[in-house]
């Protein structure tokens, strides 16, 4: 949140931090909802594997971005 505030244009810190927080909380609501909706169709294993794949992908992306610096 501090990084969002630091990068926000002067006078728009409140809007930037509010938007960042809103996206974060949307993830709290949408993620478990999608997981719960997927379980009846694919069982527990596929949703867990999708979560693991997403985590691995984001870790790889962050690793590549950090190497560029």
CB distance 5 to 14 below 8 Å: no
Q: Cα(57)–Cα(64) distance, rounded to whole angstroms? A: 11
CB distance 15 to 7 below 8 Å: no
Q: Cα(14)–Cα(30) distance, rounded to whole angstroms? A: 24
Stated pTM of the model: 0.70
* Confidence band for 1, pLDDT divided at 50, 70 and 90: confident
11-69 pLDDT tens trace: 999 999 999 999 999 999 999 999 999 999 999 999 999 999 999 999 999 999 999 88
Indicate the angle between helix axes 45-68 and 13-42, nearest 10 degrees. Answer: 140
Q: Cα(55)–Cα(27) distance, rounded to whole angstroms? A: 14
């Amino acid at each position: 949140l501090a990084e969002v505030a630091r990068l926000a244009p002067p006078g728009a810190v409140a809007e930037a931090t509010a938007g960042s927080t809103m996206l974060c909380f949307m993830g709290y609501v949408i993620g478990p909802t999608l997981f719960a909706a997927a379980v009846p169709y694919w069982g527990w294993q596929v949703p867990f594997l999708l979560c693991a794949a997403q985590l691995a992908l984001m870790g790889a992306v962050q690793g590549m971005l950090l190497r560029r610096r």
